[in-house]
Structure 1
Amino acid sequence: MRINGRELFTPIKSLSPYTYFIAFGIAANLGVP
């Protein structure tokens, strides 16, 4: 199985919305307005 740049970037693009939620949750936990 080859690991191409697209194969590495596609999961990152699909997880980007989740990263925003996680970052937002961490900021909320830190008490950042």
Structure 2
Amino acid sequence: MGSTRWRCRKRSIEKNHRRSTRIPKQMEVKRSQI
């Protein structure tokens, strides 16, 4: 269970990193606030 959870988390982080390059900084700040 833990391994699957970590994998999901890692995948989401990777997606965020790739998206952060395309999404403006304003959007990133709004997301971090939520």
Query: TM-score under structure 2 normalisation?
Result: 0.49
Provide the alpha-carbon RMSD of the alignment. Answer: 1.7
More helix by share: 2
Give 5+ residue unaligned stretches, structure 1: 1-13
Count of residue correspondences: 19
Q: Where does residue 17 of structure 2 map in the other structure?
A: 30
CA shift for structure 1 position 15: 0.6
Compare relative contact order (CA 8 Å, sep 6+) and give the higher one, 1 or 2.
Answer: 2
Aligned-residue sequence identity (percent) comes to 16
Give 5+ residue unaligned stretches, structure 2: 20-34
Q: Where does residue 16 of structure 1 map in the other structure?
A: 3
Please tell me the residue identity of whatever aligns with 2:10: A
